[in-house]
Amino acid sequence: MGRFVVLSALGLWLLGASMEAQEAALEAPFTQGTTVIEGADRRPQTSLDGAWHVIEDPYFTGLYSFHHEEKKDGWFLNLPWQQGDQKLVEYSFAHSPTLRVPGDWNTQRDSLFFYEGPMWYERDFTYHVSAGKRVFLHVGAANYKSLWWVNGQKVCQHEGGFTTYDCEVTAQLKDGANFVVAAVDNTRHADGVPTLQTDWWNYGGLTRSVSLVEVPTSYITGYDLHLDRATRTRLEGWVQVVGAVAGETVTVSVPELKGNTSAVVGPDGRALVSLAVPGLQAWTPEAPKLYTVELAAGSDAVHEQMGFKTIEARGTEILLNGKPIFLRGVSIHAEAPYRTGRADTEKDVTTLLGWAKELGCNYVRLAHYPHDELMTRAADRMGLLVWSEIPTYWAIEFSNPAVLAKAKQQLGEEIARDRNKASIGLWSIANETPATEARTRFLTELAGEVRRLDDQRLVTAALLVRSAGPNEKVVDDRLGAVLDVIGMNEYIGWYEGRPETADTMRWTVAYQKPVVVSEFGGGAKAGLHGAAGERWTEEYEASIYEHTLPMLAKIPQVRGMSPWILMDFRSPSRQLPGVQDYFNRKGLISDQGQKKAAFGVLQQAYRAGYGRAE
């Protein structure tokens, strides 16, 4: 009983044989044994998607068996159980129900709709070991904490519900029959990123694809190829190789352009690359040209599909390939159309981004966390610039160094996966955070981390605005000093005033930088009609857009917008019966695909060239 109390107090996450080991573990980051292999989705893979056996375990009983002295005894051993067995075994994956992976558990079983806590996943698979290969378990995302075992041996643990990670399982795999066990816990934490309060559903589980990825013993783990801003006729960057000896050669080629080069790996495993590409067609939303890029090092090769562009901020302009652009966009949550739940299929992605294109968008804000890689791959192909964000959302623990470390970890994982996606234009470090000194120091560090990891994209954040009087708004958050692009959220007509309040509103922006209005809008239930002044009707939501668009057009620094939001999404805080029913109803489209009147208002404005950059 004493051990149970101690483990409960520690969240039952610590795997030590002594209290000293457990206390040491508390001081270390939870994430251990993981890396990010860039372009893992381009590697030879064995999919582990499909039906996984699951056991709901709200007390996390399965992490330890209290009937045995062995401290490492737990459900991850996947012990067999049959009727009549003499050995005491109090679980059985083989006799348990299944859930679909990828997929959240909340929408797959009614009893799990509100469930927050640990869930055990198990899958049997066959694998044939190849000599000279290293094998990694590739996890698209697991919300929020996850522990992994292969054939009963622990391989890694990870914190963060929206980023991709890989952990090596070469030594644990056997030729033939194998099994993998994951313990996934979506419990919210005060010191988490995000923290306890959000305005979206806390979907738990293995919400994105899981696979085994094979690489050679020496392999390419990362690369950065970008178009130089000065001439836009040369690719520059680097290729990182694990296991390489200094002096080994790396080659990079773009066959369509007849361009190729080689470079030598340095002591740090990195080869610096420069490649002339005369005749290259720069990637744009109107012409999203992608090239096959071949990278090779020793026996390893990666075949990528990449587009190349430059994006920069100059004065109050955003320049794409050296020319001003106005970002006509919309915000999107990773909510699946029609069936709801976490978006995790190609159909989900093409539906959401297809609606954005139909709206007239050249840009999307993927809020409030990194979305599935399927989304950024599709944005590359479809021609949509992307604002990508980590969930530094609302009032997290900005004074806590451990929370800063978690935010940096998620930022690093996000950028490592997507730094070579042509669609990525802006890295966002926060949404609607309080303008305290601790917050500003925290986010200033994150801005610096973005520039260290990727200085080819723009740094932004969605800031709050303040009122300086009944008809005056001011954008002067001190964080703006370290941003390339000022994001700002405003909800005139919904959280303050009426739609017509926008008609006389005056705006002052303290920075001579480009502004993207990252959110505005209001709620409406699809099919509910009434007067333009009646809340929750389609007419009221449309009226907000009709008054807000002219107001924003008068702000000299505005160079884009992503109104909130493309589609209705689930949120536990939205409870108005008969109207919200656990949905945030600010969508231009309902969760069942019904386009509301405001969709037509914004579509007409975008198609007419609203905010067109000259």
Residue 340 lies in a domain: yes
Q: What is the mean pLDDT of residues 356-370?
A: 98
C-alpha 321/C-alpha 613 separation (Å) is: 13
Mean pLDDT of 586-593: 98
Q: CATH number, domain at 440?
A: 3.20.20.80
Is residue 417 assigned to a domain? yes
Domain end marker among 174, 189, 216? 216
CATH of the domain at 113: 2.60.120.260
Tokens 């493309």 found at: 566
Per the prediction, the chain carries an average pLDDT of: 93
Residue 23 within a domain: yes
Give rounded-to-5 percent helix, strand, coil for the chain.
20, 35, 45
Is the domain of 252 the same as that of 395? no
Span 24-53, mean pLDDT? Answer: 86
- Same domain? For 365 and 510 the reply is yes
Where would I find the beta strands (DSSP E) of 432-465?
458-464
Among the listed ranges 26-35, 239-248, 376-385, which one has the minimum average pLDDT value?
Answer: 26-35
Same domain, 211 and 245: no
pLDDT classification of 614: cutoffs 50, 70, 90: low
Regarding whether 439 and 351 lie in a shared domain, the answer is: yes
Last residue of a domain, one of 182, 216, 250: 216
Residues 287 and 397 in one domain: no
Structure tokens at 149: 């075992």
Shared domain for 487 and 563, answered yes or no, is yes
Question: Which DSSP string do the residues of 126-181 spell out, in sequence order?
Answer: EE---TTEEEEEEES--BSEEEEEETTEEEEEEE-SS--EEEE-TTT--SEEEEEE
Query: What is d(CA 382, CA 422) in angstroms, rounded to the nearest whole number?
Result: 11
Residue 447 maps to a domain: yes
Q: What is the rounded distance in angstroms from the CA atom of residue 360 to the CA atom of residue 373?
A: 23
Cβ distance 160 to 29 under 8 Å? no
Among 194, 216, 238, residue at a domain's last position: 216
Residue 353 CA to residue 351 CA, distance in Å, equals: 6
Q: 599 in a domain, yes or no?
A: yes
Amino acid letter, 462: A
241 and 128 both lie in a single domain? no
Give the chain's domain count: 3
Q: What is the pLDDT of residue 28?
A: 61
- 279: domain CATH number is 2.60.40.10
392 contacts: CB under 8 Å, gap ≥ 6: 193, 194, 407, 429, 430, 431, 433, 442, 443, 446
Segment holding 8, helix H or strand E? helix 2-9
Kindly state the average pLDDT of the residues 488-503. 97
Please indicate, yes or no, whether residues 207 and 236 belong to a single structural domain of this protein.
no
Average pLDDT over residues 70-85: 80
| 211 plus 244 within the same structural domain | no
Do 343 and 476 belong together in one domain?
yes
State residue 374 phi and psi, 5-degree precision.
-55, -35
Question: Which position has the token pair 């959401």?
Answer: 352
Please state the rounded mean pLDDT for residues 248-253. 96
Instruction: Quote the CA–CA distance of 375 and 207 in Å, as a whole number.
Output: 14
179 backbone dihedrals φ, ψ, rounded to 5°: -145, 150
**Domain that includes residue 372, residue range:** 325-607
Residue 314: inside a domain: no
Q: Is residue 479 situated within a structural domain?
A: yes
In a domain, 614, yes or no: no
For residues 381 and 288, membership in a common domain is answered with no
380 and 262 in a single domain? The answer is: no
Ramachandran angles phi, psi of 94, nearest 5°: -60, -30
Give me the percent of the chain exceeding a pLDDT of 90.
89
